[in-house]
């Protein structure tokens, strides 16, 4: 007993123990300080990163980061814009629901994809899924920012299997505003649930990430400014994105649900006009048609608009005006499909 007490006293008096205790105390102090608004209210990047972390959760079933359920947040972006983001209990961004119950609607449509379909950077009511759902279509927006085609395939498989097993009505159509960033996202290493948990709840790591992003050492997960510039090289046939697209096409045929791919020109340069001569856009149009997807290419419709401001300033995601055009053209496209 005496020997044990002596060992404890020796440990408590050791320099290494005191150093560890100081480090832990400092870490706790930093974590507390970073949770007090007074200390970080004038640091917009940190403020934004905390908001971004709060609205995202880890989905163990598909092993990907998605929007959390029951989100009701106002996000202020350091690039100078803010937007309202809301989700329902199923982690789906809210749409406008008519009084007509879902089971009796003529149209049941799923919207899938990443930040383009989700409507990153604009208010709930401005997204094309919300605008479309004001009509007779029941829209479920399953999209979430930074998903790749592999993640989207996994979500589709999960949802289609669940609805089939429980005899829940399947969608009559699926809409997907495809993003070229999938070719990068599908190649990147995905965090596991433990890494995500640490990155979400440890404010010191969020602060460190904010500094790295401010210094351009790392890239924000929703930074679309460089992804949409024309620097396109045709991917190999074994690229993970193309493999995932083939599987999604097979799902479409298996469940007999047409998938409508929406393609829109990206800006030619930051805050510039659309790139109507995009090699990427032409390639993806031909690729999707060869895989038996339906394709709505908005290049011509964009070109007819007198207002050529389609992008969130300094960001590159489609703005509210672009989503109005997308909704309008999708509405016309869906009506034509229904007549045929």
Give the span between the Cα atoms of 162 and 159, in whole angstroms: 5
How does pLDDT run across 149-182, given as a tens digit for each residue?
999 999 999 999 988 877 778 999 999 999 988 9
Q: What percentage of the chain carries pLDDT values higher than 70?
A: 88
**Which tokens sit at 39?**
């200390």
Strand residue runs (E) in 34-130 = 56-59, 64-67, 72-76, 82-86, 107-113
Q: What is the model's pLDDT at position 121?
A: 96
Considering only residues 112 and 167, tell me which one the structure prediction assigns the higher pLDDT. 112
- Summarize the confidence of residues 210-221 as an average pLDDT: 78
Gyration radius of the chain's alpha carbons: 23
What CATH number matches the domain at 77-188+220-339, 3.30.590.20, 3.30.1020.10, 3.40.50.1110, 3.40.50.11390? 3.40.50.1110
103 pLDDT more than 90: no
Domain range summary for the chain, segments of one domain joined by +: 2-33, 77-188+220-339
Across the strands, what pairs with 174? 110, 259
In Å, how far are 70, 272, 318 from 49, measured between CA atoms?
19, 27, 21
Give the span between the Cα atoms of 36 and 192, in whole angstroms: 29
How does pLDDT run across 6-59, given as a tens digit for each residue?
554 564 566 676 778 888 888 888 878 888 877 677 788 999 999 999 999 999
Residue 116 backbone phi and psi in degrees, to 5: -65, -50
């Amino acid at each position: 007993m005496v020997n044990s007490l002596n060992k404890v006293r020796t440990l408590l008096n050791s320099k290494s123990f005191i150093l560890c205790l100081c480090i832990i105390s400092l870490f706790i102090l930093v974590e507390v300080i970073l949770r007090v608004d007074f200390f970080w209210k004038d640091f917009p990047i940190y403020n934004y990163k905390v908001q971004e972390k709060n609205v995202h959760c880890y989905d163990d079933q598909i092993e990907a980061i998605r929007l959390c359920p029951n989100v009701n947040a106002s996000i202020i972006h350091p690039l100078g814009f803010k937007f309202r983001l809301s989700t329902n209990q199923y982690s789906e961004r809210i749409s406008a629901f008519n009084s007509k119950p879902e089971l009796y609607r003529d149209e049941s449509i799923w919207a899938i994809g990443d930040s383009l379909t989700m409507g990153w950077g604009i208010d709930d009511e401005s997204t094309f899924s919300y605008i479309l759902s004001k009509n007779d279509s029941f829209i479920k927006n399953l999209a979430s920012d930074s998903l790749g085609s592999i993640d989207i395939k996994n979500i589709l498989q999960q949802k289609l299997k669940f609805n089939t097993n429980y005899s829940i009505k399947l969608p009559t159509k699926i809409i997907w505003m495809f993003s070229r960033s999938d070719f990068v996202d599908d190649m990147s290493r995905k965090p596991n649930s433990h890494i995500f948990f640490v990155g979400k709840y440890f404010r010191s790591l969020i602060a460190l990430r904010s500094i790295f992003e401010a210094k351009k050492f790392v890239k924000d997960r929703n930074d679309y400014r460089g992804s949409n510039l024309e620097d396109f090289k045709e991917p190999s046939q074994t690229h993970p994105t193309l493999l995932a697209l083939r599987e999604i096409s097979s799902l479409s045929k298996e469940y007999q649900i047409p998938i409508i791919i929406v393609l829109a020109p990206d800006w030619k340069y930051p805050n510039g006009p659309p790139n109507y001569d995009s090699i990427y856009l032409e390639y993806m149009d031909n690729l999707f048609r060869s895989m038996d997807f339906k394709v709505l290419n908005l290049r011509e419709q964009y070109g007819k608009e007198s207002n050529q401001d389609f992008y969130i300033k300094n960001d590159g995601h489609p703005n509210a005006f672009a989503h109005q055009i997308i909704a309008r053209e999708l509405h016309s496209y869906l009506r034509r499909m229904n007549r045929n």
